[in-house]
Chain A
């Protein structure tokens, strides 16, 4: 079984589409990697795989090796810098053309999810993050069933549930929380994404999609609340164009100065394609600070649940 040497499995779920499951998965992976852990990402959104695009590795293809598929590497480990290896697997890597539609009914999706869980050669990794499509249907049932059958006790740390603050989104995400309850998936906590947007011109914060809905939902369902993530167009540009985030002078987030450090710095980092790895560029992004905290909480829960299972 390809998951044998995976220490912790974390699912990223949401009942609602477009709330940022893939971008939360991406940032969790980058943060875990920057914290020195080796990470794999499995994208089981079969009809809308976004992970290859977010990591800028759309043209990569999966290699077939004896015993299974080799996931696509994003960057290798560099122990001296304290960075862990990162690799991904997605249906996007198996398509002939990047815009190819996958028009599959349930049974075929189920077969693919099972194959993804059994045939990918992850090797020894600390964290496997599983990015999912919206909803509570074939992919989710197959995922829950397979993990229930094959994962060893304590291996599945649980689910990070992503929502946006508005009531229309939390209404769907509440259904996902009930799905977790019914299938026995532990909820690590809720991330409230797109919570507020700071105008880059006047630094006034507008709650485009309202505010606080995720936290209220976490309280109502008695699950953890991992944090609130604002909208940062610099992060979108980092993923879309590979541009290192540059903030206007005087940008202070959580007491840390994010403005350009020195006069020469801004001009070099403003070039659209620099050779720096995505992980290093992400350090410059304001959101990395928010995710640093979230990542610590996820690590805490994952390790606690794994030791607890070993004791039992």
Chain B
């Protein structure tokens, strides 16, 4: 099992102390020369380090050259269903036995994918070919920091630089094999993890991002920031998905808007930002239950309204990726 303690950095500098305030960034052109660098113990290391693009990028590009589509799942807001959607998309794509799907969980301080896929207690092994991911199905593999923790509830108390090191290893060292889809689940926000994955994958090419939101303005506000981040960094937005829209009471079938869309919800935001709207997925307690038990909601409740809405989202996404719908979700009524 790979160690969490000393992420070995090859090619780049190993800092001897945490970055100071106003650090220009160890990889930047000003590294070692800024005002903040003068008193920093890392000054020599940063100043002498090679400048310019990351030296590992060619290795990452080489490693991921057999991955056809790389998709990020993003949201500025936490708890809107990024991981749930990632899991559902993965299962939807993997429903076609001819497709191979990989999921990379980049949420290092709150990894949820292993639990949702029912493989929480697995560990990863290193071979000469690289780190082998955990196989959930024959054609669905997963990599997450959770597999590297000595005990399930351990906290990862890391600053940015250390997180970036592990993300680089995930991209460079995981032996995915041939993949049709690589889905990257991300933590909320617009910070280290997001910048790193975007920079490191620039060469290999990211197909785009699926952005998840819930209907209320408090969530849309943060999602707006994430969309701006995508625009700034040149990531194509494949579409916006609105999750948790409306709840149908199982007793009286009355539909309540729990997270009221006072400003028009995801649809209005997509229109405002000029991005495709992939659909609304209603709240269904069974989705949460399926996640808790690590089951595929797709297989267990294929006829539920939420599942139908999700299939709609998958189809919309497939057409954004210019894929043949029949191949993504076969035998479907329109």
Give the Cβ gap from A57 to chain B, nearest Cβ, in Å: 13
Bound state CA distance, A136 and B156, in angstroms?
Answer: 7
Complex contacts, A240 vs chain B, CB 8 Å: 216-218, 260, 262
Contacts A17-B77, A233-B258 given; does A168 touch B232 at CB 8 Å: no
Query: Looking at the complex, which one of B80, B160, B254 makes contact with A202 (CB distance below 8 Å)?
Result: B254
**Range class of the B interface residue count:** 35 or more
**A interface, size bucket:** 35 or more
Cβ of A179: which chain B residues have Cβ within 8 Å of it?
Answer: 155, 157
CB distance from B261 to the nearest CB of A (A): 9
Interface flags for B96-122 (1: CB within 8 Å of A; 0: not) read 000000000000111110011000000
Check if B32 is an interface residue, CB within 8 A of chain A. Answer: no
Q: By the criterion CB–CB under 8 Å, are A50 and B260 in contact? A: no
Q: Is A209 an interface residue (CB 8 A)?
A: yes
Q: Is A99 in the interface zone, CB < 8 Å from B?
A: yes
> Which of the residues A107, A110, A176, A208 comes within 8 Å of B283, measured between beta carbons?
A208
In the complex, how many angstroms separate the beta carbon of B317 from the nearest chain A beta carbon?
22
Question: Provided the pairs A168-B291, A237-B260 are in contact, do residues A17 and B188 lie with their beta carbons within 8 angstroms?
Answer: yes
Question: Is the Cβ of B195 less than 8 Å from the Cβ of A103?
Answer: yes
Contact of B110 among A17, A138, A201 (CB under 8 A): A17
B residues in contact with A199, CB < 8 Å = 249, 251-252, 254, 256
Per the bound structure, the CA–CA distance linking A80 and B291 in Å amounts to 51
Residues of chain B whose beta carbon lies under 8 Å from any beta carbon of chain A: 19-23, 25, 76-80, 83, 108-112, 115-116, 152-161, 163, 187-192, 194-195, 214, 216-219, 221-222, 224-226, 228-229, 232-233, 247, 249-252, 254, 256-260, 262, 283, 285, 288-289, 291-292
Docked-complex contact B288 and A175, CB < 8 angstroms? no
B187 CB to closest chain A CB (Å) equals 6
| Contacting pair B22 A206 (CB below 8 A) | no
Which residues of the partner chain B approach A8 to less than 8 Å between Cβ atoms? Answer: none
Task: Pick the residue among A102, A175, A200 that contacts B109 (CB under 8 A).
Answer: A175
CB pair B159 A47 closer than 8 Å: no
**A296 interface residue (CB < 8 Å to B):** no
Assembly CA distance A233 to B191 (angstroms): 31
Query: Within 8 Å CB of A108, what residues of B?
Result: 22-23
Cβ A106 vs Cβ B251 within 8 A: no
How many angstroms from the CA of A107 to the CA of B163 in the assembled complex? 13
Q: Which of A39-55 contact B (CB under 8 A)?
A: 47-48, 50, 53-54
When distances are taken between beta carbons in the complex, the residues of chain A under 8 Å from B111 are: 172
Q: Given contacts A53-B221, A182-B155, A206-B250, is CB(A105)–CB(B25) below 8 Å?
A: yes
CB-CB under 8 A from A167, the residues of chain B are: 115, 291-292
A-B pairs, top 3 by smallest CB distance, nearest first, are: A17-B78, A18-B79, A106-B160
Q: How far, in Å, is B221 (CB) from chain A's closest CB?
A: 6
Instruction: Among A16, A100, A137, A138, find the residue whose CB has the most chain B CB atoms closer than 10 A.
Output: A137
Pairwise interchain contact B191-A106, C-beta atoms closer than 8 A? yes
Report whether A209 and B285 are in contact in the complex, using a CB–CB cutoff of 8 Å: yes
Q: Do residues B110 and A233 form an inter-chain contact, with CB atoms below 8 A?
A: no
